[in-house]
């Protein structure tokens, strides 16, 4: 049987596994805000079930969940326009995740680079949840028949796996086009913001040193200090983008500037051609403070009223459940579960 065509729908999420970074902001949240006004239904999720794939102190998880929700709202995600909720409030994620565990193949999971990066040498001691993470992520997206998934470059492989899971489910159960093949939306100059001390690693919430990352809640002095100490090379900014080849740290700072100022990296180079780091780094710090300070001030205000954040999340979860329930009911029927 062939199912009906899918209406465009956006889904994306962020783990409340610590304070958010400039990577999360430029690679995800800022772009989610743009997509909110493009005529598609948008669902944005605090993926707390993904967070516990590595140990989270329960009180810290509760705090981080509210803080991530506050960051979404403070950055411009409007709960009147987008469905904003936390994953664990909609139990369909877990249910569909289990079904997909039975569709996805162990060989597929073994190819996931994020598991290798995160589990490192102690893969035997990693949680089973960390290994199965991409299958739950596929459920997050497909539970809503989402067609577009705005993510940073690091998540591309997981969205591709989601397409494989959708295709295998549709094929095995002979239900052509029941689950859509979602598109990863990876756009803009800052889809992979790198670590400030090592340009070969991405900027992460859980990186070992705080100096590696800009946190969305860092104050102006901290941001200036971190950019000042960011690793660069002795050469200043070149005249053309080609002059940044093989200079990962320098390229990263230019891309961050471009992402924050809504310009292309070429335009940034044109403005700062030949400038030394002594001129560029303070300009970058000023720009970052300009963009982040109003957001972190608003986050603090929102965090003063956690009950209101919880109310917004509960309302979003009700809306999300209303979309998920018929899809889940049909999935159970396709699989052959008696209900």
- Any idea which residues carry the catalytic annotation? 118, 202, 205
> Could you tell me which stretch among 24-32, 55-63, 280-288, 315-323 binds ligand AQP (CB under 6 A)?
24-32
| Cα 156 from Cα 119, distance rounded (Å) | 19
Q: Give the nearer residue to ligand AQP in terms of CB position, either 250 or 334.
A: 250
Binding mask 172-191 for ligand AQP (x = CB under 6 A): -------------------x
- The set of residues, in sequence order, having a beta carbon less than 8 Å from that of 178 and lying 6+ positions away, is 3, 169, 170, 330, 331, 334
| Cα 259 from Cα 284, distance rounded (Å) | 11
- Closest residue to ligand AQP, judged by C-beta, is 27
Task: Map tokens 């471009």 to a residue.
Answer: 258
**Applying CB under 6 A, which of residues 9, 11, 21, 136 lies at the interface with ligand AQP?**
21
**Applying CB under 6 A, which of residues 14, 77, 196, 253 lies at the interface with ligand AQP?**
14
> Could you tell me which stretch among 13-21, 37-45, 215-223, 248-256 binds ligand AQP (CB under 6 A)?
13-21
**Applying CB under 6 A, which of residues 9, 11, 23, 84 lies at the interface with ligand AQP?**
23
Q: Give the nearer residue to ligand AQP in terms of CB position, either 155 or 331.
A: 155
Q: Where are the beta strands (DSSP E) in the chain?
A: 9-14, 41-46, 83-86, 148-150, 183-185
Nearest residue to 118 (alpha-carbon basis) of 69, 158, 175: 158
Nearest residue to 165 (alpha-carbon basis) of 195, 142, 198: 142
27 interacts with ligand AQP by CB under 6 A: yes
- The set of residues, in sequence order, having a beta carbon less than 8 Å from that of 83 and lying 6+ positions away, is 41, 42, 43, 44, 316, 319, 320, 323
**Applying CB under 6 A, which of residues 9, 10, 17, 280 lies at the interface with ligand AQP?**
17
**Applying CB under 6 A, which of residues 10, 28, 165, 260 lies at the interface with ligand AQP?**
28
8 Å CB contact between 28 and 150: yes
- Give, as ranges, the residues between 132 and 161 that touch ligand AQP (CB under 6 A): 151-152, 154-155
Q: Give the nearer residue to ligand AQP in terms of CB position, either 183 or 308.
A: 183
> Could you tell me which stretch among 129-137, 164-172, 204-212, 216-224 binds ligand AQP (CB under 6 A)?
204-212
Q: Give the nearer residue to ligand AQP in terms of CB position, either 120 or 326.
A: 120
3-state secondary structure 163-199: HHHHHHHHHHCCCECCCCCCEEECCCCCCCCECCCCC
Q: Give the nearer residue to ligand AQP in terms of CB position, either 2 or 206.
A: 206
As measured in angstroms, the least distance from the Cβ of 193 to ligand AQP is 4
8 Å CB contact between 281 and 57: no
């Amino acid at each position: 049987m062939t199912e009906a065509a899918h209406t465009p729908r956006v889904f994306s999420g962020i783990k409340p596994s610590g304070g958010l970074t400039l990577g999360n902001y430029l690679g995800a949240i800022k772009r989610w805000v743009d997509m909110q006004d493009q005529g598609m239904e948008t669902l944005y999720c605090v993926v707390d079930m993904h967070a516990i794939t590595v140990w989270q102190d329960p009180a810290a998880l509760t705090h981080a969940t509210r803080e991530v929700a506050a960051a979404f709202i403070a950055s411009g995600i409007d709960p009147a326009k987008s469905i904003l909720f936390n994953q664990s409030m909609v139990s369909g994620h877990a249910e569909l995740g289990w079904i997909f565990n039975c569709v996805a193949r162990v060989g597929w999971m073994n190819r996931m680079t994020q598991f290798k990066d995160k589990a490192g040498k102690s893969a035997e001691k990693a949680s089973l949840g960390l290994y199965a993470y991409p299958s739950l992520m596929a459920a997050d997206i497909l539970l809503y028949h989402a067609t577009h998934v705005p993510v940073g470059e690091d998540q591309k492989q997981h969205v591709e796996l989601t397409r494989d899971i959708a295709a295998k489910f549709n094929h095995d159960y002979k239900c052509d086009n029941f689950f859509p093949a979602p598109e990863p939306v990876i756009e803009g100059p800052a889809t992979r913001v790198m670590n400030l001390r090592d340009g070969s690693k991405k900027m992460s919430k859980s990186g070992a040193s705080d100096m590696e990352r800009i946190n969305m809640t860092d104050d102006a002095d901290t941001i200036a200090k971190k950019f000042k100490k960011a690793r660069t090379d002795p050469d200043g900014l070149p005249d053309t983008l080609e002059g940044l080849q093989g200079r990962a740290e320098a390229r990263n700072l230019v891309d961050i500037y471009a992402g924050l100022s809504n310009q292309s990296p070429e335009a940034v180079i044109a403005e700062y051609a030949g400038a030394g780091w002594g001129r560029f780094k303070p300009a970058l710090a000023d720009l970052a403070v300009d963009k982040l300070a109003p957001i972190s001030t608003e986050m603090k205000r929102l965090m003063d009223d956690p009950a209101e954040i919880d109310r917004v999340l509960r309302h979003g979860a009700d809306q999300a459940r209303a979309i998920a329930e018929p899809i889940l009911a049909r999935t159970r029927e396709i699989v052959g579960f008696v209900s």
